């Protein structure tokens, strides 16, 4: 199937008992058994739930994987991946990444003897130089959050296979519509389903997709044992959201291109970070591994002052100042004080994340209205 058809149909069948075309919300904690151990494939909803199972199969199909697992949040999904490791293991991570990921790496799992290295993965040789016998996981975001750097998944995949190291990719910004990391050599794909997959700012959820059976078994054991699973109501909402993912991502990308070009030509804007520009450092890699460039954009103002960035953020009307991204509505954010506040300033500044950086999640509204909103907001400085 092509992507749009998979989004609507893959892993989904009409309910056999009623013919309902939408997967029912199986709002139950437990399931009746005919005899001890003799059941219909479901025992307890932490372990399996029919609504969740359909969503997991749908997500696996969208990422060209074999197994999908859903969690109560994106961080719960990352937590599950990190529980594959043991004390003494090492992780090589991109140095530009979501603040919550940095926090769980450095403030939670580092306490248990796991060592994390943060490097600029735009240059894959930096990754290979750090690999040793203790390295067990390479962790990448691409595009990165919030600097919109592009990492060559295929190059990392070759390195991970060469040394027998797992490669995990946070595919939240791109979504499976724009990019499929498993096809380029990743072992694990993670999503904050909260964002583009759900798409309507009404769900918090995470997901993992893998191809390899044994890896899926290990992750599923952890999912069940630790219990950070989503409820059936949220799974239903995500299944509904995914049915329009391809349409939404086309519009997000179209609007993203329009807004990025508008910002780049605005006299009050200094730098614009968006991988669709031909002068983006890794634009050629983005063109190869992505189908389009999405709706996430970061930018700085010409004078690079924090107080001016705050004035602009406060003056937006259509772009709403809020955490998160990927909803149908446009959002604006201040990474240094919001999504990336848990990263020390000196570490943020190493990757170019200044206190004046503004991040936009460009929604699916009319692009002319978005441009007018930006124009009015920039009048504040």
- pLDDT (tens digit, 9 = 90+) per residue, 310-327? 999 999 999 999 999 999
pLDDT at 282: 95
How far, in Å, are 92, 156, 206 from residue 140 at the CA level?
A: 9, 9, 16
The pLDDT of residue 331: 98
Buried/exposed 156-172: b ≥16 CB within 10 Å, e otherwise: bbebbeeeebbbbbbbb
Q: What is the pLDDT of residue 354?
A: 92
> What is the spatial distance between Cα 329 and Cα 200, in angstroms, rounded to a whole number?
8
Please write the tens of the pLDDT for every residue from 61-98: 999 999 999 999 999 999 999 999 999 999 999 999 99
Judge contact between 49 and 232, C-beta under 8 A.
Answer: yes
Give the per-residue pLDDT at 175.
Answer: 98
The per-residue pLDDT for 163 is 98
Q: What does the pLDDT read at residue 193?
A: 98
Residues near 5 by Cβ (< 8 Å), separated by ≥ 6?
Answer: none
The pLDDT of residue 148: 98
Average of per-residue pLDDT across 108-124: 96
Secondary structure of residue 149 in the 3-state scheme: coil
* Confidence at residue 100, expressed as pLDDT on a 0 to 100 scale: 96
Edge-to-edge strands, sheet with 269-273: 269-273, 296-301, 358-361, 331-333, 320-321
pLDDT value at position 45? Answer: 97
DSSP 283: H
- Are β-strands 296-301 and 358-361 bridged in parallel, bridged antiparallel, or unpaired? antiparallel
Overall average pLDDT of the 208-230 stretch: 98
Q: Please list the active-site residues.
A: 46, 98, 170, 195
Do residues 323 and 338 lie in contact, with contact meaning Cβ atoms separated by under 8 Å? yes
Give the C-alpha separation, 272 to 42, whole Å.
50
Tens of pLDDT along 205-217?
999 999 999 999 9
Mean local confidence (pLDDT), 7-33? 96
pLDDT tens string 261-296: 999 999 999 999 999 999 999 999 999 999 999 999
Instruction: Answer for the pair 94, 282: CB distance below 8 angstroms, yes or no.
Output: no
**pTM > 0.85: yes or no:** yes
Q: What would the mean pLDDT of 223-243 be, rounded to a whole number?
A: 98
Predicted pLDDT of residue 293: 98
pLDDT 10s digits, 45-62 = 999 999 999 999 999 999
Q: Are 90 and 136 in contact (CB under 8 A)?
A: yes
Share of the chain above pLDDT 90, in %: 98
Q: What's the whole-number average pLDDT of the chain?
A: 97
pLDDT of residue 310: 97
What sign has the CA pseudo-torsion 298, 303, 304, 306?
Answer: negative
């Amino acid at each position: 199937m092509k992507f749009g058809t998979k989004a609507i149909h893959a892993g989904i069948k009409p309910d056999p008992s009623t013919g309902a075309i939408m997967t029912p919300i199986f709002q139950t904690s437990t399931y009746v058994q005919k005899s001890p151990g003799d059941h219909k494939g479901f025992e307890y909803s932490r372990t399996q739930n029919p609504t969740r199972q359909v969503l997991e199969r749908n997500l696996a199909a969208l990422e060209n994987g074999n197994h999908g697992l859903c969690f109560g949040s994106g961080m719960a999904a990352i937590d599950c991946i990190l529980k594959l490791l043991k004390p003494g293991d090492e992780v090589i991570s991109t140095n530009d990444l979501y603040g919550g990921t940095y926090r769980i790496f450095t403030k939670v799992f580092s306490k248990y003897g796991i060592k994390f290295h943060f490097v600029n993965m735009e240059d894959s040789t930096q990754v290979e130089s750090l690999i040793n016998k203790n390295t067990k996981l390479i962790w990448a975001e691409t595009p990165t959050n919030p600097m919109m750097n592009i990492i060559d998944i295929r190059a990392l995949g070759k390195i991970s296979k060469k040394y027998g190291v797992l490669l995990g990719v946070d595919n939240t910004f791109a979504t499976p519509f724009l990019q499929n990391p498993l096809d380029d050599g990743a072992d694990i794909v993670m999503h904050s389903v909260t964002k583009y997959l759900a798409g309507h700012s009404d769900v918090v959820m995470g997901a993992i997709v893998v191809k390899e059976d044994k890896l899926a078994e290990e992750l599923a054991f952890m999912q069940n044992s630790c219990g950070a699973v989503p409820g059936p109501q949220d799974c239903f909402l995500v299944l509904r959201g995914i049915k329009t993912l391809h349409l939404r991502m086309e519009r997000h990308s179209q609007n993203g291109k329009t807004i990025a070009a508008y910002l780049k030509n605005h006299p009050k804007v200094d730098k614009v970070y968006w991988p669709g520009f031909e002068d983006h450092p890794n634009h050629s890699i983005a063109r190869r591994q992505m189908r389009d460039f999405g709706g996430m954009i970061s930018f700085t103002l010409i004078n690079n002052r924090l107080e001016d960035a705050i004035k602009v953020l406060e003056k937006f009307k259509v772009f709403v100042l809020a955490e998160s991204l990927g909803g149908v509505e446009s959002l604006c954010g201040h990474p240094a004080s919001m999504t990336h506040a848990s990263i020390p300033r000196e570490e943020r500044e190493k990757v170019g994340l200044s206190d004046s950086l503004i991040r936009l999640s460009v929604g699916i509204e009319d692009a002319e209205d978005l441009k007018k909103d930006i124009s009015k907001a920039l009048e504040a400085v």
